[in-house]
Amino acid sequence: MSEIIPVISATGLYTPPESISNEELVESFNAYVALHNARHAAEIAAGTVQELAPSSAEFIEKASGIKSRFVMAKAPLLDPEIMAPRWRERSNDELSVLAEIGLKAAQDALQRAGRLPRDVDAVLCAASNMERPYPAMAIEIQHALGIEGFAFDMNVACSSATFGIQTAADFIRAGHARSVLVVSPEICTGHNNMKNRDSHFIFGDVATAVLVEARDMAPADHWEIVGTRLKTVFSNNIRNNFGFLNCASPEGIGQPDKLFVQEGRKVFKEVVPMVASMIVAEAERLGIEAAALRRLWLHQANQGMNRLIAQRVLGHEANEDESPTVLDTYGNTSSAGSVIAFHKHSGDLAAGDLGVICSFGAGYSAGTVFVRKAA
């Protein structure tokens, strides 16, 4: 039996209509700081409560490269008395919010591929920021699209999408499915602590979809998946303790450690060399000269990290054409980031061009998907 080659037939994107600039975010954060410091003036003077320091838009852009981020609920996020996304709780008969935005991204990918939902065999909802434990959001999306077959959720934090792409490619190679949707709805603001000066600016909301298929059914304009590689190394430097055991006591609910926390400096220092050497080693295994890669679609967490990784892989400082940025307008969108970069910045490549979609983040986890443009 001849080998089945998995390809990316199309990608899809859902971008929320509202965005928040650094200036707007900092104004709200600093209003919260002023309120906190005024309310606790006596305790701060007595040394029992810590005075909070203001944030700065210049710091945010310089430290991360982020200028603004798209969000699902702007007003409550900016309200210094709330600082979290809020919307009406949906009934069990309504489409859940994660499924809703995942569905929009999935429909975009299907339409671009000219694919009808009935020809898809499986849906993976691969994301960091899940809305509930079950039923799986993937099954909800599968149901909304009218797809037969199977679906499940998977969470490998920021690397969920690349882990999902490899899983889909493996299903296709093994003959378990011929067409698989990998959907990454990321409402990161729901898991972020908007009152934490170190990380209130990091995240944005978005949904992406990647349609992975057997080459013989794909549209002519596809990307061959040349090779994938996954890696995990345990670390507590990025952590989110949200979960039912942690929320069992009233004190547990809403505590800062039940949201995203990180040691950003350590992450930066430890993850850059891990990811750069992973890309180079995988390129070597595939017989590809890393320096000749036409484009790197890197995880969008920090501009400085991407600059260093690209430099180590390509052997020179990468320009925007070689390593495009979407972080400036989307913020960190967890697993969706490298897929947005690929979605927005791949149409201009020529047949035969090689590139790598690469994610990295909590776990630690990292994934590489090497792709070659077919037509």
Give the footprint of ligand COA on this chain (CB under 6 A).
Answer: 55-56, 59-60, 63-64, 158, 197-198, 238, 262, 264-265, 267-268, 301-302, 305, 332, 334, 361-362
Residues 32, 77: contact at Cβ < 8 Å?
no
* Least CB distance to ligand COA at residue 152 (A): 23
Q: Which is nearer to ligand COA, 265 or 316 (CB)?
A: 265
Minimal CB distance to ligand COA: which residue? 264
- Comparing CA positions, the residue from 332, 317, 323, 328 lying closest to residue 357 is 323
- Half-sphere exposure for 163 (CA within 13 Å, toward CB): 24
* Least CB distance to ligand COA at residue 121 (A): 31
- In the DSSP assignment, the letter for residue 117 is G
Q: Which is nearer to ligand COA, 156 or 301 (CB)?
A: 301
Q: Which is nearer to ligand COA, 218 or 298 (CB)?
A: 298
Q: Which of 125, 158, 188, 358 is catalytic?
A: 158
The helix (run of H) or strand (run of E) holding residue 61 is helix 57-64
* Least CB distance to ligand COA at residue 271 (A): 6
Q: Does 188 participate in catalysis according to the annotation?
A: no
Residues in Cβ contact with 206 at an 8 Å cutoff, skipping those fewer than 6 apart: 13, 14, 15, 16, 70, 101, 185, 186, 330, 333, 336, 340
Quote the radius of gyration of the chain (alpha carbons, Å).
21
Q: Which is nearer to ligand COA, 206 or 214 (CB)?
A: 206
The helix (run of H) or strand (run of E) holding residue 183 is strand 179-187
- Comparing CA positions, the residue from 105, 107, 113, 154 lying closest to residue 7 is 113
* Least CB distance to ligand COA at residue 304 (A): 7
- Catalytic positions, please? 158
